[in-house]
């Protein structure tokens, strides 16, 4: 006699039941862990922003953030102003401060999803650009987030500039670049090379930075050549870094021109 468990209907019902149970469990865990995940994202962004202006625990050639316990207080101490610029057709159409942005959108400017804003721009819609202004040892830093595409997946970062769009510090990260090759964009020996590099030509025209394997300045003495020495074996990731710097930081040029007036 055929057992009930041998029937196809039993197998189908069992599979459906397992899908429902596992799906419900995953949905519960996602909801339960969401506050923790969001808090970790918030702290990480604060650490990234602080890192670019030299508020970090770097030592012995390694890139080290301030701790997650320290980050909120240090962020409040050093980041004196947060702006959200709305850009459309290459022009800044509006500028709002942190309090106004929170009142309208219910979240901090540093939580703006840069990827979603890039998608809006591709669709011909206005794009929101976060800009963080920090003060440290009498010096003003203007920090902007950037995002692009590496060899395998997304790459992103933060770039700190002075009022002349000269780079004061950077932090890069990635989702899935090759260990020992493209993943090295987050190593200090690569990131530190950007400090002091000019983004604007003497004419005021935006030039950006090219990560170049044919760079004639491997020890990076010339800060006005708009080039950084590439990472060996990571050409496509380096091209992605070049592209996101040129594409995203160009959008801030109108703001910096306004500073000069």
Q: Angle formed by the axes of helices 8-52 and 71-78, to 10°? A: 40
- pLDDT exceeds cutoff 50 at 144: yes
Chain-centroid distance of CA 32 in Å reads 26
The tokens of 103 are what? 């009142």
The rounded distance, in Å, linking the Cα atoms of 195 and 190 is 10
Who's near 53: CB < 8 A, 6+ residues apart?
A: 78, 134, 136, 141, 143, 160, 168, 169
Q: CB–CB of 162/256 below 8 Å?
A: no
Chain-centroid distance of CA 89 in Å reads 22
- pLDDT exceeds cutoff 70 at 220: yes
Please, is 17 exposed, middle or buried when counting C-beta atoms within 10 Å of its C-beta (0-12, 13-18, 19+)? exposed
Phi-psi region of 141 (alpha: psi -120 to 50; beta: other; left: phi over 0): beta
The tokens of 92 are what? 């800044």
The rounded distance, in Å, linking the Cα atoms of 253 and 261 is 13
List C-alpha distances in Å: 75 to 33, 59, 69, 145, 221: 25, 21, 11, 16, 32
pLDDT at residue number 91? 82
pLDDT band at residue 153 using 50, 70 and 90 as cut-offs: very high
- pLDDT exceeds cutoff 80 at 95: yes
pLDDT at residue number 108? 87
The rounded distance, in Å, linking the Cα atoms of 195 and 256 is 18
3-state secondary structure of 212: strand
| Secondary element (H or E) of residue 210 | strand 210-212
Q: Where are the domains of the chain?
A: 49-260
Q: CB–CB of 254/92 below 8 Å?
A: yes
pLDDT at residue number 158? 97
pLDDT digits (tens, 9 = 90+) for 45-68: 999 999 999 999 998 778 999 999
Chain-centroid distance of CA 52 in Å reads 11
pLDDT band at residue 27 using 50, 70 and 90 as cut-offs: low
Of the listed ranges 12-16, 79-83, 98-102, 178-182, the least confidently predicted one is 12-16
Q: CB–CB of 51/158 below 8 Å?
A: yes
pLDDT band at residue 89 using 50, 70 and 90 as cut-offs: confident
- pLDDT exceeds cutoff 70 at 28: no
pLDDT band at residue 1 using 50, 70 and 90 as cut-offs: very low
The rounded distance, in Å, linking the Cα atoms of 42 and 35 is 11
User: What is the average per-residue pLDDT within 119-130?
Assistant: 89
């Amino acid at each position: 006699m055929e057992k009930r468990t041998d029937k196809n209907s039993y197998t189908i019902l069992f599979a459906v039941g397992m899908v429902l149970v596992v799906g419900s469990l995953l949905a519960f865990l996602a909801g339960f862990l969401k506050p923790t995940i969001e808090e970790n994202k918030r702290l990480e962004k604060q650490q990234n922003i602080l890192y670019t202006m030299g508020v970090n625990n770097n030592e012995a050639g390694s890139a080290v953030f301030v701790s997650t316990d320290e980050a909120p207080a240090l962020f409040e101490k050093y980041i004196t102003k947060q702006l959200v610029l709305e850009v459309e057709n290459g022009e800044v159409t509006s500028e709002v401060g942190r309090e106004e942005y929170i009142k309208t959108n219910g979240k901090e400017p540093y939580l703006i999803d840069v990827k979603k804003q890039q998608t809006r721009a591709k669709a011909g819609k206005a794009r929101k650009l976060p800009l963080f202004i920090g003060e440290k040892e009498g010096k003003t830093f203007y920090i902007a987030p950037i995002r692009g595409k590496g060899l395998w997946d997304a790459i992103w970062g933060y770039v700190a500039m002075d009022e002349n769009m000269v780079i004061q510090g950077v932090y890069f990260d990635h989702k899935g670049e090759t260990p020992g090759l493209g993943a090295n964009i987050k190593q200090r020996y690569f990131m530190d090379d950007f400090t002091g590099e000019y983004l604007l030509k003497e004419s005021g025209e935006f030039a950006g930075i090219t990560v170049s394997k044919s760079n004639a300045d491997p020890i990076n003495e010339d800060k006005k050549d708009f080039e950084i020495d590439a990472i060996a074996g990571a050409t496509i990731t380096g091209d992605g870094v070049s592209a996101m710097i040129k594409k995203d930081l160009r959008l801030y040029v109108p703001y910096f021109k306004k500073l000069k007036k």
